[in-house]
Amino acid sequence: MKKISKAWPLAITFAVLVIFCIELFFEFFACGWAGNNIYRCDILPPIINFLLLFLLIVGIILVFKKKTTWLAFLPVIIVSVLIIGLLLVPGGEINKTKFACSMADSSNERTCWTNFAVEEHNFNYCDNMQSDIGMNLCYGKVAKYPGDASWCEKIPLGHGGFDSCYQNIAVYTQDKTWCDNLNRSTYYKYPSQTTSSIFRCYTRVNEAINQTS
């Protein structure tokens, strides 16, 4: 019976260690792809993670020092901390982390940084992309104020992002004159395609005006 009483704290501590490692894995990897952006699931608050890690290290030290009397209380403390941590965080809460963007593959990475850039209206997020194509498209999607035109000018005239950049400004400001910048675009092979693009821009502006009137 004495051997069993010494073994169960070790078994519970080991089991909690495994659960803790799985929880960290889900936080940093498995929950990475959710919704339109890349997120991390914060199953437990960071302070609880650090506390659990500390307790597990203490448990390992007690094992090597053969302090089984103290070790018997450790599983109860660890389980209590886990329960408190789970109660502190509402179920299913997902917090955004920009760090995860750089961990994604090229396609998800572009989507991730673009969404953050649009949400916060911050062109600098676009610069984190490895691809110039993705970066220019990102500029085009973020633009909406007249002052953003300087970013539109950074986009090559032969890139589709140039068109969308000025179109977005035109729609947001409800000013058709911004659509005229599409005449400088070399993205389309035929002049008729450029004309159609300008017409679409005018149409989008009219729709925006109608929605607010």
HEC per residue, 110-158: HHHHHHHHHHHCCHHHHHHCCCHHHHHHHHHHHCCCHHHHHHHCCCCCC
**Boundary (domain end) residue, out of 80, 96, 112:** 96
User: 117 with 135: CB under 8 angstroms?
Assistant: no
Specify if 136 maps to a domain. Answer: no
Q: Supply the pLDDT for residue 28.
A: 55
Specify if 134 maps to a domain. Answer: no
Q: In this structure, what token pair is assigned to residue 204? A: 């989008």
pLDDT tens column, 8-23: 666 666 666 676 676 6
Task: Quote the domain boundaries for residue 6.
Answer: 2-96
Specify if 77 maps to a domain. Answer: yes
Is 89 found in the same domain as 169? no
pLDDT tens column, 41-50: 455 566 666 7
**Boundary (domain end) residue, out of 28, 63, 96:** 96
Band of the pLDDT at 33, cuts 50, 70, 90? very low
pLDDT tens column, 153-200: 999 999 999 999 999 999 999 999 999 999 999 999 899 999 999 999
Q: Supply the pLDDT for residue 132.
A: 86
pLDDT tens column, 75-111: 667 667 766 666 665 444 444 456 567 655 577 778 8
Specify if 107 maps to a domain. Answer: no
Domain count, the chain: 2
Burial class (CB in 10 A: 0-12, 13-18, 19+), 89: middle
Specify if 149 maps to a domain. Answer: yes
User: 40 with 31: CB under 8 angstroms?
Assistant: yes
User: 13 with 78: CB under 8 angstroms?
Assistant: yes
Is 157 found in the same domain as 87? no
H helix or E strand, kind and range, residue 39: strand 37-41
Is 86 found in the same domain as 165? no
User: 21 with 6: CB under 8 angstroms?
Assistant: no
Is 92 found in the same domain as 170? no
Specify if 198 maps to a domain. Answer: yes
